[in-house]
Copies of this chain bind each other. A is one copy, B any other.
Amino acid sequence: MIQATTLNWPNLIEFGAGKIKTLKDHLENSKRAFILVDPPIKPMVESLLNEISRTGVEFKISTEVIPEPPINEIKKFFKPVNEFAPDTVVGIGGGSAMDMAKIIAVLFDGKQSVEDVIGIGNVSNRDVKLITSSTTSGTGSEVTPIAVLTDTDAKLKKGIVSPFLVPDVAIIDPELSMTLPAPITAATGMDAMTHCIEAYTNKHAHPIIDNLAIEGIRLIASSLERACNNGNDLEARTALALGSLYGGMCLGPVNTAAVHALAYPLGGEFKISHGVANSVLLPFVMQFNYISSAKKYANVAKACGVKDTGDVEQMASLAVKKVREISNSCKIPSSIKELGIPENAITEMAKAAMKVTRLLDNNPREITLSDAGEIYRNAYDGVIK
């Protein structure tokens, strides 16, 4: 029996090459728009923004995007944005640009603080229109109710989850991702792959989301290496962008699991980018998980292009190897060791990961502290057994 669920996505999703131009239509009724744009993207949208500003919209544009945004840095935006008094907030860029725009949109008026809203369901309102445009294919933030920031004092990444963070309009234009360097394409692409795999194999999986997730896996598996080898391959960039959009659409209703939980300490403590941390851990968490739902992992293998042997358990184990192969093919570090993290950090990282119960609860197989340590140790060596 299909369980009840809530789908909370942007009312408008503009997908495909050239779609950034629709920003003009979506700002038609706006008078004052605060726009946060990733620095490398600004030159690509400059003439469009000039054209839109001639229609009478007043802009305040910032390129002060900080990766894995620290709480203290984001707070600096609230006063000047409040003085500007926008009716629309726009975030154009990768996950950090969009997450910052999402947080600014709900908090600039000063009625709530960052500390008030961390966690699930604590944002009380949003009074301005929110538009996101994703220029990397990975985060999915353009369609999610989630924004992640870094508590630098506690050396932890923290999440804000609220329906008010779901943008009104999401624009996904793969042309804006064509200059993304190969290592970032690879890391963000594997992040999107992780979203799809963790949603599809989730303890709280749902058929509506399964349908998006498995198609996302297929799209990313068939396009990531191509997009890394030739950034101008618009066909591959478009397939990757759609896979990433599907990954994002999974995150609200089902969300991620142990890979993301175990990746958090690598980001919070060692400043490893979210995508790389996920990529390195993904095969090792899959190796731990696959016996718990072999049929689903076998489908992951098939979606990744592994020829069906008819043996479900074998196919499930081949999923692990294939995902690692995809990760290798786009030159992502293959072990925690390569990331420069000392082996003796594992005990503390395992303890920190065990606190991310919100995501561990979604994992198809229960993970104990000692399991977490073993997964980290396997990932440290980087050898799939």
Q: A173 → chain B, closest Cβ, in Å?
A: 8
Judge whether A1 is part of the interface by a CB distance below 8 angstroms. Answer: yes
Q: Mark A2-25, 1 if CB is under 8 A from B, else 0.
A: 111111111111111111001000
A12 touches B6 (CB 8 A): yes
B211 touches A2 (CB 8 A): no
A2 touches B215 (CB 8 A): no
B215 touches A15 (CB 8 A): no
Flag the segment in A71-79, A188-196, A233-241 that touches B. Answer: A233-241
Q: How many copies does the complex hold?
A: 2
Q: Mark A225-243, 1 if CB is under 8 A from B, else 0.
A: 0000000001100110010
Judge whether A379 is part of the interface by a CB distance below 8 angstroms. Answer: no
Residues 192-224 of A at the B interface (beta carbon under 8 Å): 207-208, 211-212, 215
Q: A199 → chain B, closest Cβ, in Å?
A: 15
Judge whether A166 is part of the interface by a CB distance below 8 angstroms. Answer: yes
> A330 to B175, alpha carbons, bound, how many Å?
49
A7 and B2 contact, Cβ closer than 8 Å, known pairs A208-B242, A211-B211: no
Q: Interface residues of A: mostly helix, strand, loop or mixed?
A: mixed
Q: A343 → chain B, closest Cβ, in Å?
A: 44
Which of chain B's residues have a CB closer than 8 A to the CB of A11?
A: 8-11, 166, 168
> A12 to B164, alpha carbons, bound, how many Å?
12
Which of chain B's residues have a CB closer than 8 A to the CB of A235?
A: 1-2
Q: A226 → chain B, closest Cβ, in Å?
A: 13
A16 touches B9 (CB 8 A): no
Residue of B nearest to A4 (CB): B16
> A1 to B233, alpha carbons, bound, how many Å?
10
Q: A231 → chain B, closest Cβ, in Å?
A: 16
* Contact with A242, one of B2, B168, B212 (Cβ below 8 angstroms): B2
> A275 to B10, alpha carbons, bound, how many Å?
30
Which of chain B's residues have a CB closer than 8 A to the CB of A15?
A: 4-7, 208
Residue of B nearest to A163 (CB): B12
A2 touches B208 (CB 8 A): no
Residue of B nearest to A13 (CB): B7
B9 touches A9 (CB 8 A): yes
* Contact with A5, one of B8, B16, B215 (Cβ below 8 angstroms): B16
A1 touches B238 (CB 8 A): yes
Residue of B nearest to A212 (CB): B211
Which of chain B's residues have a CB closer than 8 A to the CB of A212?
A: 211
> A residues within 8 Å of B by Cβ?
1-19, 22, 163, 166, 168, 207-208, 211-212, 215, 234-235, 238-239, 242
